[in-house]
Structure 1
């Protein structure tokens, strides 16, 4: 089954505020087209081996699909004015470990990058990626898989990710979990209610099986048609179980009453289906 998430789905299609927002985004772009990857290294990040790995990962990220720009302390430089014009000075001298302490003092003095591209305890570095606008779930999944593969290949295992693509992945995983959880909980509840109503295990099992098949066919039809389930999808199983339980109770009651009146089983089934 396919899942999707879009904030605009919570607003009516002709909502004036949504129309204003869409026109604003069209003119100025979105403000969530970023992805931040923080990589930890204790006791501190100023270790040559770690900096080389992080630098390699930062440079590789520039070629990732859906990435427009990539910045980190290891790739950025200070502008430096000389008598021959402007040149650049690296923020971190990766290959000169004797400069590390001086580099750190300079970063602290500027305070531009503290808690942005490096934390105040210098235990983690951040790679900031600017991505294409409005990445969908598939694109987000491709980008995140690429990032994780790259991190693993450079032996950077202690990391955290923040941004639209990661949020998209997390929200879809939560939707999947909610659909599964609500289905299981609602099914157990329906089973208990039917058992209390009929006090007959065969009748309850037939009823639950019928409802389960209806739910399976419904969800299977959505999957076959390629319909994407949004944030409201968690209610589908509950609604199907509510409607299914109601119908099953009506049908079963009608069928039992007809059997008790002396009608044959086949005739009772046909009559109950027509009436209910």
Structure 2
């Protein structure tokens, strides 16, 4: 009986995956900046994959799971060596059934794993609302484990999409972040303004390019990046790098596919 139940569940999972929509992205960024913090000032390869749907009826909401990574393409002052994945993220999101046109309510979980073997765990809850080609969003992130501890972060976003042709689209975006670290000052930390273009090569493949300006709101909340001023290994050179605000412009080229 147990074997029959296990086999039935496995068959259901296989059928769900077969019915899922899968998206693959391959981004090449001039730097890796996360929530205003420069994690790498060198070029970064950032691939991702996400599966959604799984045959779930619309009245039950929507589920998506995915993975994303960042790989330095040059030796970084953060200590990561060339061609090394400095970070891999695993995440899952559940969008509640929509009861108002254009409204999206969702909850999620993400685990950030780093090359050194450490990890951070974070839960999130958010709301989005689309009005024609414009959209507004707000997401709250709560640390639940790892180095970030109980640190929290909130972001507010706005976007506008312009369909130039059936294949070509332009997107404008703005985002403001509020940091509430477990230690240190809380407040509005960073913002970014972005513009991007996307072109559909067919029903499956697409390409795109974007550029974003990242600004620092309060240097007491999001401090400046700086080198350590001491020589710990005796080689006559300063050692270490303190993460913080440094890179203010990031350009990106993207390749995507949906199956």
TM norm structure 2: 0.17
- In our comparison, the structure showing a higher alpha carbon Rg is 1
TM norm structure 1: 0.16
Richer in helix (by share): 1
